[in-house]
Amino acid sequence: MIVENQLASLLSSLQPALRSGDYVYAAWPAGTAVDDGVAAVIREEEGTTAVLTRERADELGLDYSFVAAWITLEVQSALDAVGLTAAVSSALTAAHISCNVLAGLHHDHLLVPAGEAARAMEILRELSAEHQGREPGPAALTIRAETPADRPAILELVAQAFAVSPATGLAVEGTPVEVGLLRQLFDADEYLPELSIVAESDREIVGYAISTRAWVNDLELLGLGPIGVTPRLQQHGIGSALMAETIRRANAAGERGIALLGSPDYYSRFGFVAADSFGIAAPEEAWGRYFQFLPLALWPGGVQGTFRYALPFKEL
Ligand SMILES: CC(C)(COP(=O)(O)OP(=O)(O)OC[C@H]1O[C@@H](n2cnc3c(N)ncnc32)[C@H](O)[C@@H]1OP(=O)(O)O)[C@@H](O)C(=O)NCCC(=O)NCCS
């Protein structure tokens, strides 16, 4: 285990990762043993505070007011490292994002207001990039729902992002299939306006992600994709911000889970795992572990079946 002590080095390798789901602080009932659903406990003279998923708090009927997103700084930080917490909370404070810090033996964890998760992730990535001597990401990134006026810019962005096939690594001849797919998704019954999300910087659309209605048997789920970022701005956290916002919006809308086809190396950082471990078979068996699933707070479990994307995917 490597434990970093130098502040600049710690900041350059923060690696913020967003846990799925919302978390809350609740007073834990006196005399009750703390259960596995609780992620942290603080005992005070006045009583015991539990930090737990919102879902579990609701199951237990516990009261809460602050609903948080949980960000783990995956850098290994020593408990006696000086300045990391101050640097991180200053950066978030400057952006008017409140932040509660919990330290474990291995990592520091930040609880920020759930609605600010995407922005907080962006700020932490920029803080880290500044200490790597890399160009910081776009100064102000807005993540919002798409409007029809954005569509030409979105289609152009997707054409650029998929000009090299993510599957083969080879240049694509002509217009990438993702462009035609997206045109059809915009007009499909399965289109969900609140889950067609753009990232905008200086009035330029620099990232895009769409999730559309999909199913396993009769259970409504989401199929995510395409997602793309303007090539010159890739690796600056824009894709992560779009993923975080998609997950936040999907949870807020009471969705059950999101499936996608993509690199497990990338999507595992958002909590996605092989879909078949949840009883969900890929539409194409050959997709194997590249077909991934993220259960959301309202995931019912006990599901067995093959995933069906929105109709336009069939025509690919
Ligand atoms: C994939 C994509 C959406 C990610 O967005 P991004 O803004 O570039 O990514 P972020 O800055 O949020 O994340 C960067 C991190 O993800 C990793 N990453 C990015 N794309 C990856 C991929 N395809 N496979 C594995 N890791 C990947 C980077 O190595 C980097 O890792 P680090 O944080 O450890 O340094 C973007 O690169 C893109 O548009 N690619 C072309 C189109 C595409 O492949 N779409 C997805 C098809 S499933």
Q: Where in the chain is the domain with CATH 3.40.630.30?
A: 141-314
Out of 3.30.70.260, 3.40.630.30, 2.30.110.10, 3.40.50.2000, which CATH number does the structure's domain 141-314 have? 3.40.630.30
Residue from 162, 229, 289 whose mutation best tests the ligand 1 pocket (most atoms within 8 A of CB) = 229
pLDDT at residue 8 above 80? Answer: no
Closest to 146 in 3D by CA, of 254, 231, 260, 227: 227
Cα three-residue angle 282-287-291, rounded to 5 degrees: 60
Q: Where in the chain is the domain with CATH 3.30.2130.10?
A: 7-131
Q: pLDDT tens-digit profile of 32-47?
A: 888 888 999 999 999 9
Residue 199 CA to ligand 1 center (angstroms) comes to: 15
pLDDT at residue 53, rounded to an integer: 95
- For residues 46 and 172, what is the distance between their CA atoms, to the nearest angstrom? 63
227 lines ligand 1 (CB under 6 A): yes
State the closest ligand 1 atom to the C-alpha of 269, by its place in the atom list counted from 1. Answer: 16
Residue 282 CA to ligand 1 center (angstroms) comes to: 22
User: What kind of fold does domain 7-131 have according to CATH?
Assistant: VC0802-like (3.30.2130)
User: Please, what's the b/e burial string for 70-108 (b: 16 or more CB within 10 A of its CB; e: otherwise)?
Assistant: bbbbebbbeeebeebbebbbebbeeeebebeeeeeeeeb
pLDDT at residue 4 above 70? Answer: no
Average pLDDT score, the chain: 91
pLDDT at residue 3, rounded to an integer: 40
Residue 235 CA to ligand 1 center (angstroms) comes to: 6
Q: pLDDT tens-digit profile of 91-148?
A: 998 889 999 999 888 889 999 999 999 899 989 998 898 887 655 454 578 999 999 9
Nearest residue by C-alpha to atom 34 in ligand 1: 15
240 lines ligand 1 (CB under 6 A): yes
State if pTM tops 0.85: no
Nearest residue by C-alpha to atom 41 in ligand 1: 161
110 lines ligand 1 (CB under 6 A): no
pLDDT at residue 105, rounded to an integer: 87
pLDDT at residue 90 above 90? Answer: no
Residue from 266, 289, 290 whose mutation best tests the ligand 1 pocket (most atoms within 8 A of CB) = 266
pLDDT at residue 83, rounded to an integer: 77
Residue 141 CB neighbour total at 10 angstroms: 23
Q: pLDDT tens-digit profile of 67-89?
A: 999 999 988 766 666 678 888 98
238 lines ligand 1 (CB under 6 A): yes
H helix intervals, 32-141: 54-60, 84-94, 117-131
- For residues 258 and 28, what is the distance between their CA atoms, to the nearest angstrom? 32
Residue 36 CA to ligand 1 center (angstroms) comes to: 33
Residue 172 CA to ligand 1 center (angstroms) comes to: 18
Q: pLDDT tens-digit profile of 200-239?
A: 987 899 999 999 999 999 999 999 999 999 998 899 899 9
pLDDT at residue 31, rounded to an integer: 87
At residue 315 the predicted structure's pLDDT band, cuts being 50, 70 and 90, is: confident
Task: Match 């130098």 to its residue by tokens.
Answer: 6
- For residues 38 and 40, what is the distance between their CA atoms, to the nearest angstrom? 6
